[in-house]
Chain A
Amino acid sequence: MARQLREVVFVDGVRTPFGKAKGQYAETRADDLVIKCIRELMRRNPDLPPERVDEVAIAATTQIGDQGLTIGRTAALLAGLPRSVPGYAIDRMCAGAMTAVTTTASGIAFGAYDVVIAGGVEHMGRHPMGEQVDPNPRIVAEKIVDPEALSMGNTAENLHDRYPTITKDRADAYAVRSQQKTAQAYADGRIQPDLVPVATRSAEAGWGLATTDEPPRPGTTVEDLAALKTPFRPHGRVTAGNSAGINDGATAALLADEETARELGLPVKMRLVSYSFTGVEPEVMGAGPIPATEKALSQAGLTIDDIGAFEVNEAFAVQVLAFLEHFGIADDDPRVNPFGGAIAMGHPLASSGVRLMNQLAATFAEHPEIRYGVTTMCIGIGMGGTVIWENPHHSATQDEVA
């Protein structure tokens, strides 16, 4: 049988407002967060018959408790999707949702699915990173992984060592800009369209409604950040201010075979070009996006100069700066994270991949002159993940469609 690969498109994506651990979602279940995203996706796309959803892939790093029980399947049932719609759980730490997207996208390209839901959730308040992990003693005994690799903060310090030109001041300046850009994006109403309001239970205060991200600190200055402690090393560089926080949140995206999307009248916000996951030394996991992006570019036959928009996950400022330095991009290049990033908005591990995609899609819609964009992130235990997308609003791609 002759097979033809099919084009995969990003139809739509939503997320909950992100919360600080023990903050607005302290009494809200993790699965409920992602269920509300799935419901909203279905509501926003009424032309999609629910039974046409062929898969629900939901990522979570810590798959226990309310993030366990094969969360993709249970979330689908609890969201009211037909029982015929299957689902499963995915884990690639920070790149969980990104992996949910690429894995199901591969299924679409292969012809196994027409339409899928891919997303992620991490309720770090309920499930702190490392909850109930049981590392194999050979990791230490045989020096397979530097034990420091298991602490993400240490890996960020290690990355500063690798790039001595990336100073604490540069990292702090980057972090302040992230806060400023997020505040501006909120003021301009760019973030809100893809947020799903979440009713927040509080036994003490009664029900509330979460409509905005809780983590941002809009007025942050470099002076504020300079005063922060460096918990991972004495006189180190990594602080709570130039890192993403410990957060709760969920995301979900709708992907489809391009023809199916057009047949059903679904919007096409982005077209998948290529993706790559690449391993690096676990103790400098923040370097991961560099080889992952190079590989994805090479698969696509593109160079870094073809990329008009970047959504780089800000687990740590140093990790973004290392990426930019490697590719010769300025720290304040306007193509990079125009809405700010995880340092301001938060990084609920396995959910963040789709947040990057939502924001890239928003940038594409505003900028038809941009043809290609990148979403990329570093991943614990030493990996990077990159997805390259094409802007369907770009004139060149418009011609192709026509």
Chain B
Amino acid sequence: MVSTSSTNRYIDDAELRELLDRASALSEAEVVTEAKARDVALPLGAGTMVLVTLDNGHDHTRPNTFGPRSLRSLNEALDAALAREDVVAVGVTGKPFILAAGADLSGLGGLTSRDDAKMIARIGHGVFAKLDREIGGKPTFGFVNGLALGGGLEVGLNCTYRTVQDSAPALGLPEVMLGLIPGWGGAWLVPNLVGADTAVRLILENPLNQGKTLTGHQAFELGLADAELGGADFLEQSLLWAAKVLTGAVTVERPEVDRGEAWDAAVAQGKGIADSKTGGASPAAYRAVDLIAAAKSSTKVEGFAAEDEALADLVMTPELKAGLYSFDLVQKRAKRPAGAPDRSLARPVTKVGIVGAGLMASQLALLFARRLQVPVVLTDLDQERVDKGVGYVHAEIDKLLGKGRVGPDKANRLKALVSGAVDKAEVFADADFVVEAVFEEMKIKKQVFADVEKVVSPEAVLATNTSSLSITEMAADLEHPERVVGFHFFNPVAVMPLLEIVKGEQTDDATLATAFATGKALKKTTILVKDSPSFIVNRLLGRFMGEVGKIVDEGTPLAVADGAFAGVAPMPPFFLLSLVGPAIALHNNETLHGAFPDRFYVSPNLQALVAARKTSVYLPDFSIDPEVAEIFAAPADGTALEPAAVRERTLSALADEARRMLDEGVVAAPEDIDLAMITGAGFSFWNGGLTMLLDREGISEKVTGATFH
């Protein structure tokens, strides 16, 4: 009998069992992923493999996860298999379509001490380490049959060999996105398997790029698996491949890992990614960089121990708490918008009308056509504008065709769906959903809806893409004001996930339900907002930009102000201003100033910038445009603040505004503010959007006397 306890240099087996029991006692509600072991007679007379299937008893919509009880089940299965002399190898695979989605996150939030956190790290390591031939005594095979994230991929990485299903949809180590590091071997194993360069991509770059994942084929190309096999008979061919490896018919060759300068360069690049994406604000990214750096020379046992320490530290950080909170927002709250009426009330949308054929309208037309696949008609004042709008959409469809994102038939279908007209009467008569994207002025929008109402059915939804105007007022003079709803997208429409759905005073449930159903069909994150100035994101960004503008107008250099928000906003405020366009930013500030003159500042310098017809603060080389610098020159008697003071003053203003918005009932809960800021303004996961950050830094309490959470 092979005793695993004597050879497991990482952890004593008795201690591992004790830790598993202790951790399991803390994990009563865990959905246990069972390790189901079965003997398989390998082809080619290669002998008996114990094949372990990870299966939590649910279908693919509830992926396997590893909590303590799941790890204990795997530990028992591995011990039993490794102890048998008649077993030549151990294989690990998953239930259909899923290997595992990683650690059971629901258990992490409840950990109360660093010791407990470290215990979770150690039990994962301790169990997975047995898959190491040096430790467990037998060659092991990870058969990556589908989704494998975090600990799900790590269980495979700990094996001696791996096959991957070429079409597996989501492989990756997304831990850093949440505020963790790949702490069950990933941070040490990946650089040592495929080099630091790929490790940086997998562990840092992809997670910080909206949690990007790899396909099975990509993972194979990167060297994360030794063989890729098709889905029709993946497991059969994996077992055959394993038999060939075991009988020597196949020799696994892996490229030598470059342990020279390339390793250091990759680490430096990783540091650069951490800086540019988190601005020093997420400790996880830096711990990951450190672990990859150390993996260059550390032993596996040392590497695993370093992961234990990093994980134990990180589990206790507020950034992880915020990361898990954000994860929950985008995974759960985004799918069930708070306050949305029952979806059965929604009316079908079989044709969409868009008033306006400008850039925003054209982007909307493309989105509606692609996602709803129903006719979309653009209208505008004259044929030239209409033609330009339709031409833009058709050109965008051609671009999609050129990139292979749609086939020629689909491109034809989409193009045929998008048409234009000057006269609304005929083309809107059978439209169920008309959205206006005309100039941001109440009088014009009211006129547009009055015109549209004459030609559409009484039930047709009239949606406005206004970013700041009152929905209630816009609907007031209509015959059917109950069918008007705010439908506020963010630029660029195709990219930004957020859609604010604004309920006017008279908006009825059927209209609202139709708006939510349509938003969902457009694959947007929908949030219900009360009719109020600039809704959620623009109101908060308006307060933010107003405060920063005021600080600069008062004498803080623009560059200092722009450098004060690393880790808070996705980009410096004057970058954002340039991206949005100074005129639009000014308009938003002026609107908000009109509504709340005491709090919202209109910068004379910004007015001067717009008057000078400047479209950006920065030149293409990212230096400040000297003419702009002149406009923003500090006043003679000005006060220059330090970055920390800029940051605190601005965050204080945001705390004040967020609290007011909740008190006014603009949104149902701080969760909606955070979901909006993450999906509409690119605020960070590890800050939990905005309010978690304000709580964490003590600003909410200082400014409003209470925390948000």
Interface-central residue, A197, A201, A204, by most chain B CB under 10 Å: A197
**Quick one: closest B residue to A37, CB to CB?**
B233
Indicate whether B187 reaches chain A with its CB closer than 8 angstroms: no
Q: How far is the CA of A80 from the CA of B55 in the complex (A)?
A: 28
- Closest chain-B Cβ to A333's Cβ sits at a distance in Å of 34
**Contact in complex: A206, B51 (CB < 8 Å):** yes
The one of A40, A79, A196, A207 in contact with B38, judged by C-beta atoms closer than 8 angstroms, is A207
**A-side contacts of B93, CB under 8 Å:** 207
Interface string of B51-77 (1 = CB under 8 A from A): 111010100000000000000000000
Q: How far is the CA of A24 from the CA of B423 in the complex (A)?
A: 67
**Quick one: closest A residue to B239, CB to CB?**
A209
**A-side contacts of B57, CB under 8 Å:** 203
Indicate whether A198 reaches chain B with its CB closer than 8 angstroms: yes
Q: How far is the CA of A196 from the CA of B52 in the complex (A)?
A: 22
**Contact in complex: B38, A206 (CB < 8 Å):** yes
Indicate whether A299 reaches chain B with its CB closer than 8 angstroms: no
**A-side contacts of B36, CB under 8 Å:** 202, 204-206
Q: How far is the CA of A388 from the CA of B239 in the complex (A)?
A: 38
**B-side contacts of A40, CB under 8 Å:** 233
Indicate whether B43 reaches chain A with its CB closer than 8 angstroms: yes
List A61-85 residues whose CB lies under 8 Å from chain B: 78-80
Q: How far is the CA of A291 from the CA of B235 in the complex (A)?
A: 45
**Contact in complex: A80, B232 (CB < 8 Å):** yes
Interface-central residue, B36, B37, B236, by most chain A CB under 10 Å: B236
**Contact in complex: A79, B232 (CB < 8 Å):** yes
**Contact in complex: A207, B236 (CB < 8 Å):** no
**Contact in complex: B236, A209 (CB < 8 Å):** yes
**Contact in complex: A206, B230 (CB < 8 Å):** no
Indicate whether B492 reaches chain A with its CB closer than 8 angstroms: no
**Contact in complex: B236, A36 (CB < 8 Å):** yes
**A-side contacts of B55, CB under 8 Å:** 203, 206
Interface string of A206-230 (1 = CB under 8 A from B): 1111010000000000000000000
The one of B37, B41, B232 in contact with A209, judged by C-beta atoms closer than 8 angstroms, is B41
**Quick one: closest A residue to B145, CB to CB?**
A207
**A-side contacts of B236, CB under 8 Å:** 36, 196-199, 209
Indicate whether B96 reaches chain A with its CB closer than 8 angstroms: yes
**B-side contacts of A203, CB under 8 Å:** 55, 57, 95
**B-side contacts of A80, CB under 8 Å:** 230, 232
**A-side contacts of B493, CB under 8 Å:** none
Indicate whether B40 reaches chain A with its CB closer than 8 angstroms: yes
- Closest chain-A Cβ to B407's Cβ sits at a distance in Å of 13
**A-side contacts of B235, CB under 8 Å:** 199, 207, 209
- Closest chain-B Cβ to A251's Cβ sits at a distance in Å of 16
Interface size on A, residues (CB 8 A): 22
**Contact in complex: A197, B43 (CB < 8 Å):** yes
**Contact in complex: B232, A39 (CB < 8 Å):** yes
Q: How far is the CA of A205 from the CA of B34 in the complex (A)?
A: 10
Interface string of A153-170 (1 = CB under 8 A from B): 000000000000000000
**Quick one: closest A residue to B54, CB to CB?**
A206
Q: How far is the CA of A388 from the CA of B112 in the complex (A)?
A: 77
Interface-central residue, A32, A39, A199, A201, by most chain B CB under 10 Å: A199
**Contact in complex: A206, B37 (CB < 8 Å):** yes
Indicate whether A35 reaches chain B with its CB closer than 8 angstroms: yes
Q: How far is the CA of A204 from the CA of B235 in the complex (A)?
A: 18
Q: How far is the CA of A313 from the CA of B285 in the complex (A)?
A: 67
**Quick one: closest A residue to B49, CB to CB?**
A209
Interface string of A32-44 (1 = CB under 8 A from B): 1001100110000
Interface size on B, residues (CB 8 A): 22
Interface-central residue, B41, B53, B233, by most chain A CB under 10 Å: B233
Interface string of A168-203 (1 = CB under 8 A from B): 000000000000000000000000000011110111
**Quick one: closest A residue to B96, CB to CB?**
A201
Q: How far is the CA of A87 from the CA of B649 in the complex (A)?
A: 71
Q: How far is the CA of A35 from the CA of B234 in the complex (A)?
A: 12
Q: How far is the CA of A40 from the CA of B239 in the complex (A)?
A: 14
**B-side contacts of A209, CB under 8 Å:** 40-41, 51, 235-236, 239
**B-side contacts of A79, CB under 8 Å:** 232
Q: How far is the CA of A303 from the CA of B55 in the complex (A)?
A: 59
**A-side contacts of B234, CB under 8 Å:** 199
**B-side contacts of A202, CB under 8 Å:** 36, 38
**Contact in complex: B38, A208 (CB < 8 Å):** yes
Interface-central residue, A35, A79, A196, A207, by most chain B CB under 10 Å: A207
- Closest chain-A Cβ to B244's Cβ sits at a distance in Å of 13
Q: How far is the CA of A79 from the CA of B235 in the complex (A)?
A: 14
**Contact in complex: A206, B232 (CB < 8 Å):** no
**B-side contacts of A39, CB under 8 Å:** 230, 232-233
**B-side contacts of A78, CB under 8 Å:** 232
**A-side contacts of B232, CB under 8 Å:** 32, 35-36, 39, 78-80
List B225-253 residues whose CB lies under 8 Å from chain A: 230, 232-236, 239-240
**B-side contacts of A201, CB under 8 Å:** 96
Q: How far is the CA of A245 from the CA of B96 in the complex (A)?
A: 30
**Contact in complex: B52, A206 (CB < 8 Å):** yes
**Contact in complex: A211, B38 (CB < 8 Å):** no
Q: How far is the CA of A201 from the CA of B236 in the complex (A)?
A: 12
**Contact in complex: B43, A208 (CB < 8 Å):** no
**Contact in complex: B37, A199 (CB < 8 Å):** no
**Contact in complex: B53, A207 (CB < 8 Å):** yes
Interface string of B159-171 (1 = CB under 8 A from A): 0000000000000
**Contact in complex: A36, B51 (CB < 8 Å):** no
The one of B51, B96, B230 in contact with A208, judged by C-beta atoms closer than 8 angstroms, is B51
**Contact in complex: A205, B233 (CB < 8 Å):** no
**A-side contacts of B40, CB under 8 Å:** 208-209
**Contact in complex: A199, B53 (CB < 8 Å):** no
**Quick one: closest B residue to A197, CB to CB?**
B236
Q: How far is the CA of A40 from the CA of B236 in the complex (A)?
A: 11
**Quick one: closest B residue to A208, CB to CB?**
B38
**Contact in complex: B96, A197 (CB < 8 Å):** no
The one of B95, B230, B239 in contact with A199, judged by C-beta atoms closer than 8 angstroms, is B239
List B78-105 residues whose CB lies under 8 Å from chain A: 93, 95-96
Q: How far is the CA of A196 from the CA of B237 in the complex (A)?
A: 11
**A-side contacts of B43, CB under 8 Å:** 197, 211
Q: How far is the CA of A202 from the CA of B93 in the complex (A)?
A: 13
Known: A206-B51, A206-B52. A199 touches B38 (CB 8 A): no
Q: How far is the CA of A40 from the CA of B230 in the complex (A)?
A: 13
Instruction: Give me 12 A-to-B residue pairs in the complex whose CB atoms sit less than 8 angstroms apart, sorted by A's number.
Output: A36-B236, A80-B230, A80-B232, A197-B236, A198-B236, A199-B235, A199-B236, A203-B55, A205-B38, A206-B51, A207-B235, A208-B51
In addition to A79-B232, A197-B236, 8 A-B residue pairs with Cβ atoms within 8 Å of each other are A35-B232, A35-B233, A40-B233, A196-B236, A199-B234, A206-B52, A208-B40, A208-B51
